[in-house]
């Protein structure tokens, strides 16, 4: 089985940005990794809830469709897939970042402003991983599915 969404985000994040988050938090790489895991889980959960809410479901569905139908980056000059894919989903993730950060801050006791800065570093990374996962699923012959296919299994309990 492939790596989890959280693992993919950590790999995409890389050591430099993980150290940047560790510096923000005043912790080590393990502490930063824990916060990244919580943030990815919280953002995924917020995204799934938004997809289930009638008031935001259409926007999330459109954003997922945009990510899953975008051409993989560097597939051709006519395709500006990498930029286009960021459009709606970047906006959706941006809206969900603050509630996710507040929930993490409440759970961990880390100041909300600090968690928000860390989550802001993660949003473009999460977006990049979503785009790559959608392209991989599409390239594997399987139709790129919905949000569940991109994020992987349901929320961990």
Q: Domain of residue 107: give its range.
A: 5-135
Selection from 51, 52, 89, 45 nearest residue 70 by Cα: 89
Is 58 inside a domain boundary? yes
- Residue 106 within a domain: yes
| C-alpha Rg value of the chain to the nearest Å | 15
Residue 24: count other Cβ atoms within 10 Å of its Cβ: 17
pLDDT tens figures, 52-76: 999 999 999 998 888 888 655 543 3
Report the pLDDT value the prediction gives residue 67, as an integer from 0 to 100.
Answer: 85
Q: Give the count of alpha carbons within 13 A of 51, CB side only.
A: 18
Mapped onto helix, strand or coil, the DSSP state of residue 119 is helix
Does 115 reside within a domain? yes
Q: The pTM is what? A: 0.82
Residue 119 lies in a domain: yes
Residue 146 covered by a domain: no
Quick one: CA dihedral 150, 124, 21, 25, positive or negative?
negative
Domain count, the chain: 1
């Amino acid at each position: 089985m492939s790596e989890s969404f959280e693992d993919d985000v950590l790999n995409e994040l890389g050591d430099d940005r993980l150290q940047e988050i560790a510096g923000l938090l005043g912790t080590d790489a393990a502490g930063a990794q824990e916060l990244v895991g919580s943030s990815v889980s919280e953002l995924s959960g917020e995204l799934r809830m938004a997809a289930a809410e009638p008031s935001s479901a259409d926007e999330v569905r459109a954003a997922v469709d945009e990510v899953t139908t975008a051409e993989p980056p560097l597939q051709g000059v006519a395709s500006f897939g990498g930029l286009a894919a960021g459009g709606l989903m970047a906006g959706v993730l941006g809206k969900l970042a603050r509630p996710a950060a507040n929930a993490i801050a409440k759970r961990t006791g880390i100041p909300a402003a600090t968690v928000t800065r860390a989550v802001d570093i993660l949003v473009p990374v999460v977006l990049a991983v979503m785009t790559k996962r959608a392209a991989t699923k599409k390239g594997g012959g399987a139709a790129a599915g919905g949000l569940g296919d991109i994020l992987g299994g349901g929320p961990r309990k």
